[in-house]
Amino acid sequence: MRKNSQSKPIGIFDSGIGGLTVLKEVRKVLPNEDLIYFGDTARVPYGIKSVETIQKYAIQDANFLLQKDVKLIVVACNTVSSNAMDLLKSKYKNIPFVDVLIPNALYASQITNNLKIGVIGTPATIGSGSYRKVLKRFNPKIKVFSKMTPLLVPLAEEGFFKGDITRLVLKNYLSELINKNIDTLILGCTHYPLFEKEISKICGKKISIVNSALQTARTVKHILEDNGIENPKESTGDIKLYLSDIPANFSKIVYKFLKLDLKNRIEKVDIDKY
């Protein structure tokens, strides 16, 4: 069983392009693994949808990746991680799932000194209270300050990772958290590492930034090792990208992320069939 699973690809899904930050880190940590990515670009953002809709989309996304015979699914979306993980794990018991919430919260709880942690995320992620619950589970003394940041996903999807408009929006969102004297900031959406340089400039050196992509990639590596399903091949793994809609600037964004020309490996998918 384990040997049969070793050569299977890892599946990754997100509401849009944000999950590419996770794919990039998984690629660094596990360069020999084949990766299949699905971005639901036709229905982005998930973060403003109802819980019922988020769960429906999550099941369709997982069904698509399972059709590709993946050995593990990375839910590279904080909104799904906050609102649909229990459903996914109960529905698909024979495949491991990795969410982005637990690795983020665990690492943040380990590095905070003053026990004041800020979280930025979509309305659905922040509204679920998931980060607060998990952080309190790791350490009941932690104080959590959350902020809904709904404009950041559209900015990321349009490629506005820096510039005056982006900086103004970020300052507006972050000033409240900075004034709470936080020493750790969780980027509670996989789109947000795209703004990490700008966020770091605004927050300064006294605030540690927790990048969901990096922590999630490390968790994927540990789970593969624990289950004995790492790919033993020595050659570089393949990457395939599937989208529910192909934005005009997507190939340029992929190259900016991955420094790989994958425009001939992007396919459009009718996700409603799943």
Domain residue spans of the chain:
2-99+214-273, 101-212
**Annotated binding-site members:** 14-15, 46-47, 78-79, 190-191
Active site (annotated) includes residue 203: no
Q: Which of 189, 241, 243, 271 is catalytic?
A: 189
Top CATH class, 2-99+214-273: alpha beta
Q: What is the pLDDT of residue 212?
A: 80
Per-residue pLDDT, 138:
96
* Residue of 35, 77, 126, 187 marked catalytic: 77
Long-range contacts of 250-255 (CB under 8 A, 24+ apart): 250/17, 250/41, 252/159, 253/17, 253/20, 253/159, 254/20
Highest CATH level, class, for 101-212: alpha beta
pLDDT at 2: 58
Is the separation of the CB atoms in 70 and 95 below 8 Å?
yes
pTM greater than 0.75: yes
Same fold, 2-99+214-273 and 101-212: yes
Predicted local distance difference test score (pLDDT) of residue 1: 46
- For position 17, what pLDDT does the model report? 85
Mean pLDDT (10-residue bins), the chain, 274 residues: 79 92 93 96 92 97 97 95 94 94 94 97 93 96 97 88 93 96 95 92 95 89 94 92 87 72 83 95
CA distances to 4, 84, 160, 189 from 208, in Å:
41, 28, 23, 16
Whether 77 is a known active-site residue: answer: yes
| Segments in the chain forming alpha helices (H) | 2-6, 20-29, 51-67, 78-83, 85-91, 101-111, 123-128, 130-138, 152-157, 164-178, 196-203, 212-227, 250-258
Q: Which residues are annotated as a binding site for substrate?
A: 14-15, 46-47, 78-79, 190-191
